[in-house]
A = this chain, B = another copy of it.
């Protein structure tokens, strides 16, 4: 949405004189949290204007240029007045730059402060410069200045005071990366927001404005990398025909500090190189990948590296040749090391043989490899040991590989979270994992400290989010899906931020600064994930959704190609009880956790109720903390979840006055769908589990309107993302 800078002044002039050249246009959500709408509070606006009398910027690197464009565009929208380039003679100027490129900043002697902030951190200071009051945005690098610029704009967007600024901020994690599971035909695996935003056919010559706005949005929340292609990889992306397209995207993203990564198909040396093997210890294979990496770097000099899914769900990998994951990862790592590239090797593996408990497999395979990986390898681990369920305990690998940097993989796209029709704010989910205590170095050894490197002194750190972005006009299908993109970026930057704080920022920038809107909607967002857990998988249930497309309930799924692709494998409901015994009497997956965790989770009485059926097979009459039987509690939770969606609808209805008609109706219609889907989950699951429990639905709860058979026969076709 950025206009050419030089036209902006003319544009604003024409605009303000004619005033009315305005389409009566509702809002389609395209602008994300970067709306830059006019500040409605006049006092605040005047205060901002007084502190923004002009802009001083030296240097014209591509990154500083886009920072300046963003400021000029953003402030024009927020304040209704163009910000002019000026000199230092006036009070109230805004100064942008690094000590290296801006002498007045150098003279402020910020070296000590800046050193602590690393290559991407920034300072925003209210300062006296040459005897005049000024605001300074500075950093050790241009991209740090850009991050500071976005932060500064956010201060205005969220109506903060800017007269006494002393802000310093640096990312806690180095690689903050989106994973796009986008195929070259523009379908998106597990994508629910239309199709891929990468229009490969028109690249390299057509640079869609979306690419720029995508980079702007990412930079505004500190995301600094993007894996363009699906982990179920196609080797074609590594051909010159496609590398020239990758280069075009990398060029478009570079000013915004956004690096491009690709997925590597492990069998590429055979498929496209004509080799007889892809054995990672084969000399020809090593050479092939070294040459391929060199070729990629000739197109993209700052190419970030490879993300690899190997020996999992049918993907080729080193085990095809009797080699280990470390052998495979190291071979690729050597190929990109010279240019500073990294390899992100996914721990989400399961082989063709169904193990006794799929939850154990990643740990079983990777733990023994600790210490065997090259320094430029990150092992990328999903937040939980199964697969992005509404709730999982933290993955047992976190804390278990002190010599191997582990990268967190969250899923932003809502594969198991109602897809694009359910409003689910995921910061509480991410936070729950990050704040979980691994106990590996005693209490307080949180997952966050593993991932940010502070627990084991990792030299390389990273966090990945599987993107929920598509070519829907509003990017994420559900408007509130934008909040998940947003909170992923914010938490990758600073995992200590609260879910409430992040929601507050997002809501203010996306809708309004009115407290009567913010308070109830923020609360609704924070509650939404627990609501979803209740109507889908309460009490530690997991993986009971529809087969293959993962849409809607499917607790009855059984007798499929693999046992661990069924639901009955996970819930193990029987006339006696329900749940997966992962203690020593069962699969003993619990043994993969530190003793401190084992103690807590090992007994039903001490196990947090949200993980009860994850770790224990529990009798239907078992008394839970509420005093109810397990069966009654299960029913109550399903009903509560569905009822809470009804309350969400009311909450949203009450917010109508604060939202334009198009976005209001968008969310309203989706909440209605969500309520239908919540009831579908509730009724289908309660009726199904009742066939085992053989107990009545507790008094006071309405009876499902359909029979179990009706739900079992539901067979949705053409579910997106499948």
Interface assignment of A49: CB less than 8 Å from any CB of chain B = no
Interface assignment of A23: CB less than 8 Å from any CB of chain B = yes
Residue of B at shortest CB range from A72?
A: B24
Binary B-proximity of A8-30 (CB < 8 A = 1, otherwise 0): 10011001101111111110101
Complex interface: chain B residues within 8 A of A241 (CB): 717
Residue of B at shortest CB range from A239?
A: B717
Interface assignment of A471: CB less than 8 Å from any CB of chain B = yes
Complex alpha-carbon distance, A666 and B205, angstroms: 11
Given A4-B661, A80-B19: A28 and B471 within 8 A (CB)? no
Partner of A202, one of B15, B236, B662, B673: B673
Given A19-B19, A38-B18, A673-B202: A26 and B80 within 8 A (CB)? no
Complex interface: chain B residues within 8 A of A184 (CB): 717-718
- Whether B24 lies near A38 (C-beta < 8 A) is no
- Whether B38 lies near A20 (C-beta < 8 A) is yes
Interface assignment of A669: CB less than 8 Å from any CB of chain B = yes
Interface assignment of A625: CB less than 8 Å from any CB of chain B = no
A432-485 residues at the B interface, CB under 8 angstroms: 471-473
Complex alpha-carbon distance, A471 and B718, angstroms: 17
Partner of A1, one of B24, B76, B186, B673: B24
Interface assignment of A658: CB less than 8 Å from any CB of chain B = no
Q: How many residues of A contact B (CB 8 A)?
A: 66
Complex alpha-carbon distance, A464 and B658, angstroms: 44
- Whether B236 lies near A717 (C-beta < 8 A) is yes
Complex alpha-carbon distance, A186 and B188, angstroms: 12
Complex interface: chain B residues within 8 A of A4 (CB): 661
Binary B-proximity of A204-215 (CB < 8 A = 1, otherwise 0): 011101100000
Complex interface: chain B residues within 8 A of A471 (CB): 194-195, 471-472
Complex alpha-carbon distance, A224 and B718, angstroms: 29
Complex alpha-carbon distance, A184 and B717, angstroms: 9
Complex interface: chain B residues within 8 A of A672 (CB): 205
Complex interface: chain B residues within 8 A of A28 (CB): 30, 209
Interface assignment of A559: CB less than 8 Å from any CB of chain B = no
Complex alpha-carbon distance, A77 and B21, angstroms: 7
Count this chain's copies in the assembly. Answer: 2
- Whether A205 lies near B661 (C-beta < 8 A) is no
Interface assignment of A201: CB less than 8 Å from any CB of chain B = yes
Residue of B at shortest CB range from A82?
A: B24
- Whether B40 lies near A18 (C-beta < 8 A) is yes
Interface assignment of A361: CB less than 8 Å from any CB of chain B = no
Interface assignment of A623: CB less than 8 Å from any CB of chain B = no
Most buried by B among A202, A672, A720: A202
Complex interface: chain B residues within 8 A of A1 (CB): 23-26, 662
Binary B-proximity of A34-73 (CB < 8 A = 1, otherwise 0): 0111101000000000000000000000000000000001
Complex interface: chain B residues within 8 A of A710 (CB): none
Complex alpha-carbon distance, A250 and B666, angstroms: 19
Partner of A669, one of B206, B420, B661: B206
- Whether B16 lies near A35 (C-beta < 8 A) is no
Partner of A205, one of B201, B669, B717: B669
Complex interface: chain B residues within 8 A of A19 (CB): 16, 19, 80
- Whether B3 lies near A24 (C-beta < 8 A) is yes
Interface assignment of A185: CB less than 8 Å from any CB of chain B = yes
A296-353 residues at the B interface, CB under 8 angstroms: none
Offer 15 A-B interface pairs, CB within 8 angstroms, sorted by A: A3-B24, A7-B661, A8-B24, A19-B80, A22-B22, A22-B38, A23-B35, A23-B37, A25-B31, A28-B209, A195-B195, A195-B471, A200-B718, A206-B673, A241-B717
Q: A1-B25, A15-B22 are in contact. List 9 more A-B contacts (CB 8 A).
A: A1-B23, A3-B26, A21-B40, A28-B209, A201-B718, A201-B720, A205-B669, A209-B665, A473-B473
Identify the A interface with B (CB < 8 A).
Answer: 1-4, 7-8, 11-12, 15-16, 18-26, 28, 30-31, 35-38, 40, 73, 76-77, 80, 184-186, 194-195, 200-202, 205-207, 209-210, 236, 241, 420-421, 471-473, 660-662, 665-666, 669-670, 672-673, 676, 716-720
Q: 9 shortest A-B CB distances, which residue pairs?
A: A20-B80, A21-B38, A20-B38, A206-B669, A205-B673, A185-B718, A4-B661, A184-B718, A195-B195
